[in-house]
Amino acid sequence: MMYNGSGDVTPAYVTTAAGVTSEFIAAIFFYFYNQTVSKMSDYHDKLVVTQNISLALKIAEDLETDDRSDTQKQLVDRLSENVNEYLTRK
């Protein structure tokens, strides 16, 4: 419209509209990127906890019979102390 001469459109209006539109779209993409990174971090933390629990139980299985049951009981007690608090954390 500006180049054809039709209407009363000045270059400033066209430039402003294009800039505002592109900045709005960029802001939306950055917001979604931030949310994605946050969720990936939470997921990774839960995987690390799961791996540590699995490793602790595997090490306890390799212990001698006398120490095995006591060690497994201690592991279960310590690992289940704050499990609900951790799982419901956002």
53 Cβ partners below 8 Å, 6+ apart? Answer: 79
59 Cβ partners below 8 Å, 6+ apart? Answer: none
Dist. CA 6–CA 83, nearest whole Å: 68
pLDDT tens per residue, range 12-70: 788 888 999 999 999 999 999 999 999 999 889 888 888 888 888 888 788 777 777 88
Query: Whose structure tokens read 């505002």?
Result: 20
- Give the pLDDT band (50/70/90) at residue 8: low
> How big is the chain by its Cα radius of gyration, in Å?
29
